[in-house]
């Protein structure tokens, strides 16, 4: 289960239209300032409940609601695996949100301000 969680967090599952968590939440999973939250240092039960709330529509964001779309693609086993893997990871030194992403976000997310992309990534 932990390996499945790691794969989904770091690589996603293109066949099911699930982007890697790191693509939006940052390589260190500490989020991207000012609008994308970090996912490390959170208890497994909290992560499970938040993913479940996105999946069932109890939690919503402005359209397009990318997290709801992603969560609906996750099976209960996926949710458990992702939550377990994230909860088992240490928070990187400092635990501060990134200022930029290395590449553009893989999906549009309403309510998320334009997230800066590292200059080197834009030049590609």
Look at the domain 2-122 and name its fold.
Answer: Cytochrome Bc1 Complex; Chain D, domain 2 (1.10.760)
Sequence-ordered list of residues with C-beta below 8 angstroms from that of 22, at least 6 positions apart, any chain: 9, 10, 29
Domain boundaries of the chain, sorted by first residue: 2-122
pLDDT in tens, the chain (124 residues): 999 999 999 999 999 999 999 999 999 999 998 889 999 999 999 999 999 999 999 999 889 999 999 999 999 999 999 999 999 999 976 789 988 888 888 988 887 766 777 765 444 3
Angstrom distance (rounded) from CA 67 to CA 52: 11
Query: Taking the model in full, what pTM does it have?
Result: 0.88
**Of 72, 75, 86, which Cα lies nearest the Cα of 2?**
86
Torsion sign (Cα): 83, 87, 88, 89? positive
């Amino acid at each position: 289960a932990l390996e499945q969680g790691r794969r989904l967090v770091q690589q996603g599952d293109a066949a099911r239209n699930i982007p890697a968590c790191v693509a939006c939440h940052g390589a260190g999973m500490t989020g991207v300032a000012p609008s994308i939250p970090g996912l490390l240092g959170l208890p497994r039960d909290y992560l499970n409940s938040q993913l479940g709330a996105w999946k069932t529509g109890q939690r919503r964001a402005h359209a397009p609601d990318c997290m709801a779309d992603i969560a609906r693609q996750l099976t209960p086993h996926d949710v458990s695996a992702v939550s377990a893997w994230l909860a088992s990871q240490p928070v990187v030194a400092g635990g501060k949100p990134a200022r930029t992403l290395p590449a553009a976000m893989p999906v549009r997310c309403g309510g998320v301000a334009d997230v800066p992309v590292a200059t080197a990534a834009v030049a590609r």
